[in-house]
Amino acid sequence: MAVNTLEVRSLTKVIGKKKIVDDVSFSVKKGEIFGLLGPNGAGKTTIIRMIVSLIKRTAGEVTVNGNNLDGQFKKTMSEIGAIVENPEFYKYMSGYKNLKHYANMAIKEVSDERIMEVARLVKLEDAIYQKVKTYSLGMRQRLGVAQALLHNPSLLILDEPTNGLDPQGIREFRDYLHALAHEGISVLVSSHLLAEMQLMCDRFAIIEKGKLIHISSMKETMEEDEKMEVIFEVSSSLKAVDVLKGQLSNTDVKVLSEDQFSVNVEKATISTINKLLISKGIDVYGIRTVTVSLEDRFLEITNKEVKEHGGVMQ
C-alpha cells in the first residue's frame, strides 16, 4: 500500500534552452493539504500541468497511489481530479445537469447518487437544480470541485483556486477543502496568496524560479524561532528599557512609544521581565506577542536563498 498519495520525483521542464522547472521532488500524504507557494511565473502551474499530463515532462516521474503515470496512465489519471484553470460550465443548464454531462463522459461509471453526494460534499445541494448563470463565483468554484470529485479520485489538484473570490467565498472554500481532507482525500493546491495558504495547508513547498527551495510543515515553519517578539505596555517605556538593559544585558529591546516597548525573548523570559518591572515600580498594563506570518517566513526563506547562492531576486 502506498504511503503517499502523490510522489513527484525530479520533475523537469525545459523549453528551448530555459529550464522552467528544475528537478523538483515532493510528496503528498493521504488526507493532507499540500501547498505549492511562489510568485507568479515561479513554475507552479507548469508543475501541475505536468502532473496531470496537460504538457509533456522533459524528465521526472509522477506516481499516484503507487501507480506510475508512464506505465499505468489510465489507472493513474483515474485517481486524479483537477481544476487547472477557471472551471467552465453551461450557464443555461443547472448545476445538476452540468455534473450529469461530465458524469456521462467519465471513464468510471458515475451514478446519480454520486452526483448528489459530491453536491452535498461541496455544500451545493440547495442550489444544485438552479441554473449556473445564477451562481456566484464561489458557487461556480465549488461546482468545479464537485466535477473534479465525481469519479471519486484520491487526489484533488487545484491551481490558484481562490482567484476572484471575496473573503467569505475564500473562507467557505478553505472550510470545505478541510472537510475533503478529513474524508481522506489528498489536496495539492498552488497559490501566491500566502495569508490564505497559511490557514489552508498542512505542509508546503516554495518554488522560486522553477526550483524547490524549501519544504516543511506549516506548524514547524511558524514555530521555527525559539525567540518571539513581545510588546509591553507600561507606565514608562524609557524607565522599563533602562531596567532591562541593566538587569538583562543581552536582551534585544526597543522603545516603540512613551508607554510601549518591544523585546525579543524566549517564552519563559516573559514572566521574568514582568516581575522585574513590577519590582522596580513600573506598572505593566498589557503584554502581547507579535504573531509571525507566513509572509514573513516566506521572505526570510527566499532572501536567505538569494544570499546563499548570490544574485538578486527578480
Q: What secondary structure, in 3-state letters, does the chain show?
A: CCCEEEEEEEEEEEECCEEEEEEEEEEEECCCEEEEECCCCCCHHHHHHHHCCCCCCCEEEEEECCEECCCCHHHHHCCEEEECCCCCCCCCCEHHHHHHHHHHHCCCCCCHHHHHHHHHHCCCCCCCCCEHHHCCHHHHHHHHHHHHHCCCCCEEEEECCCCCCCHHHHHHHHHHHHHHHHCCCEEEEEECCHHHHHHHCCEEEEEECCEEEEEEEHHHHHCCCCEEEEEEEECCHHHHHHHHHHHCCCCEEEEEECCEEEEEEEHHHHHHHHHHHHHCCCCEEEEEECCCCHHHHHHHHHHHHHHHHCCCCC
Would the pTM of this model clear 0.85, i.e. be above it?
no
pLDDT for the residue numbered 314? 36
Same-domain status, 129 and 253 = no
Asked whether residue 29 carries a pLDDT value surpassing 90, the answer given is: yes
What's the CATH number where 283 sits? 3.30.70.1650
Same-domain status, 232 and 200 = no
Containing domain of residue 263, as a range?
A: 227-289
pLDDT for the residue numbered 293? 61
Q: Which of 112-126, 219-233, 294-308 has the lowest mean pLDDT?
A: 294-308
Same-domain status, 50 and 138 = yes
Task: Taking residues 104-110, report their average pLDDT.
Answer: 79
How does pLDDT run across 58-79, given as a tens digit for each residue? 999 999 999 999 988 888 888 8
Whether residue 196 is contained in a domain is answered as yes
pLDDT for the residue numbered 234? 92
Asked whether residue 1 carries a pLDDT value surpassing 60, the answer given is: no
